[in-house]
Amino acid sequence: MKQLDLRVNGITCSGCACDIETVLKNADGISRAEASYADGTVHIEYHPEEIEEKRVLAMIKKLGLTVS
């Protein structure tokens, strides 16, 4: 199990945070995803043998957000 703590630009409301969590939690290999509108962060726990980090980042970018 690996963890990613990301600063994400473009989380403009709690609904955006909820959307991020939903998309990530539905992906194979991701066991936990928590997005914070207040902090602009996303915490992810994933299994690297099932999903690569670059795929996780691509999923966030596909939502129109940028990772810094």
Q: What is the pTM of this model?
A: 0.90
The residue ranges of every structural domain in the chain are: 2-67
Distance, CA of 6 to CA of 67 (rounded, Å): 7
What does the pLDDT look like over 17-62, one tens digit per residue? Answer: 999 999 999 999 999 999 999 999 999 999 999 999 999 999 999 9
Region of residue 20 (phi > 0: left; psi between -120 and 50: alpha; otherwise: beta): alpha
Which CATH number is 2-67 given? Answer: 3.30.70.100
